[in-house]
Amino acid sequence: MLTISSKSRYGISALLALAEFYNSGLLQLKEIAARCDIPHQFLEQIFNRLGKAGIIKSTRGKNGGYQLARSPEHITVLQIVSALEGDIEFVSRTEEKNNVIVELFDKAENNLKNTLSVNLAALVVRQQTLRGNTLYEI
């Protein structure tokens, strides 16, 4: 079974929170952890990797916190998953390309990468739409 780990799911969730507040200031780690129901120490580890990948940036100090390093339109889920999990690779690039199985998995890999190429801005819009629909369906 192919599984995206909780590290990526938590990372995407936390970055969605930052994307919702883009250009509205910094969010503190404890606030993001509480909002997204992510263990604080685990979120620290996730943000450390995302910071090294240049996806988020932090400001230290009393009024410090985290923010996206680029606009939500320029950060994709694929970039987040790659920063946290490593590159998505179903088949080794050294394998023969004329093998039908390699061809099949190469196609599946490309389809997954295309799906994960959605940016955070689009996910924020979709999330807000779903929240709006949930509120009216009581």
Q: Is residue 125 part of a domain?
A: yes
Confidence at residue 49, expressed as pLDDT on a 0 to 100 scale: 97
Flag whether 114 is in a domain.
yes
- How much of the chain exceeds pLDDT 90, in percent? 70
CATH number of the domain bearing residue 87: 1.10.10.10
Counted domains in the chain: 1
pLDDT for the residue 134: 53
Residue 1 within any structural domain of the chain: no
pTM of the model: 0.86
pLDDT above 60 for 132 = yes
C-alpha distance across the termini of the chain, in Å? 36
pLDDT at 137 over 50: no
**24 lies in some domain:** yes
The pLDDT of residue 135 is above 50: no
Specify if 28 maps to a domain. yes
Residue 20 has pLDDT above 60, yes or no: yes
In this structure, what are the phi and psi dihedrals at residue 30, rounded to the nearest 5 degrees? -65, -35
Tens of pLDDT along 81-107? Answer: 999 998 888 877 666 667 888 888 889
Query: What would the pLDDT profile of 2-19 be if each residue is shown by its tens digit?
Result: 678 999 999 999 999 999
Looking at 1-138, which runs of residues are DSSP E strands? 56-59, 65-68
- pLDDT tens digits, one per residue of 53-79: 999 999 998 889 999 999 999 999 999
Q: Is residue 21 part of a domain?
A: yes
**How crowded is residue 54: how many other Cβ atoms within 10 Å of its Cβ?**
12
The range of the structural domain enclosing residue 49 comes to 6-136
Residue 15 lies in a domain: yes
Q: Considering the chain, what is the average pLDDT of its residues? A: 90
